[in-house]
Amino acid sequence: MKIRILIADDHHVVRRGLVFFLRTQPGLEIVGEAANGKEAVELSRSLNPDIILMDLVMPEMDGIEATKSIKKAQPKTKIMMLTSFSDQDHVIPALEAGASGYQLKDIQPDELVTSIKKMMNGENQLHPTATSLLMANLSNQDSQRKNLIEELTKRELEVLKEIAKGKSNKEIAAALFITEKTVKTHVSNLLAKLELADRTQAALYAVKNQILEKTP
């Protein structure tokens, strides 16, 4: 089954270039194009894409607000920010809005395809700069949540460890011999306890705090 992709960018040349290239790649299907955030939200609801390649700065509604709206209505839709901005004022809000990926527009075409496929499999795909900024942001919050790890149950720690390995809910369920529904519950609980926004932050938190070494 092909990965269904919606492209949202206000630059016609950028959209056309992405469509022209991605349409030739096996396993990918372009289902629509949006010229602004508002169109992206509307098309997402009608087309229900697997992945949206989302620009950040667009007229009528920017990529961050569009991402928030889409993730609220369609939490399973994965959003990759594809932008020219790599500063903290753009990266952190985008990830907090629910983006699973953050890549810069100078990414090599083959790397973009790989990133799309990995994200579809449940792996967060972040440009090194985005990762560094997110790590710094988490570090600034460490003093406020240094004891929160103690609130996690043994099973929640196990789930967090699997998240740090980049596994999807389905893969975690298989590894721990529990249902996907149970995994979702544990993920929701641990995110709340650690005061983290999403799996990306959870994975980085786990690595930074050496959770892989602390759990069996």
Helix (H) or strand (E) holding 81: strand 78-83
The label of the residue with tokens 């892989």 reads 212
Residues 151 and 125 in one domain: no
Indicate whether 137 belongs to any domain: no
Asked if the structure places residue 134 within a domain, the reply is no
Does 65 lie in the same domain as 157?
no
Q: How many structural domains does the chain have? A: 2
Tell whether the torsion through CA atoms of 93, 172, 162 and 150 is positive or negative: positive
Write down the pLDDT at residue 173. 94
- pLDDT at position 215: 46
Residue 45 pLDDT > 90: yes
Average pLDDT over residues 112-120: 93
Residue 138 inside a domain? The answer is: no
What is the model's pTM? 0.65
Pair 8, 68 in one domain: yes
Tokens representing 146 are 């240094």
Encode burial over 105-140: b for 16+ CB neighbours within 10 A, e otherwise.
eeeeeeebbebbbebbebbbbbbeebeebbeebbee
| Percent of the chain clearing pLDDT 70 (strictly above) | 91
Flag the least confident range among 3-17, 66-80, 144-158: 144-158
Q: What is the pLDDT of residue 200?
A: 83
CB 130 within 8 A of CB 93: no
Q: Are residues 112 and 160 in the same domain?
A: no
179: exposed, middle or buried (C-beta count within 10 Å: 0-12, 13-18, 19+)?
A: exposed
Same-domain pairing of 13 and 85 = yes
pLDDT averaged over the chain?
A: 88
Mean pLDDT computed over 91-118: 90
Are residues 60 and 12 part of one domain? Answer: yes
Torsion sign across C-alpha atoms 158, 164, 169, 171 = negative
CA gap 78, 95 in Å, rounded: 12
The answer to whether position 87 is within a domain reads: yes
Most confident option among 91-105, 140-154, 167-181: 167-181
In a domain, 166, yes or no: yes
Residues 110 and 154 in one domain: no
Domain extent at residue 119: 3-129
Last residue of a domain, one of 129, 162, 179: 129
**For residues 89 and 99, which has the higher predicted lDDT (pLDDT)?**
99
pLDDT tens-place string over residues 131-142: 777 666 665 555
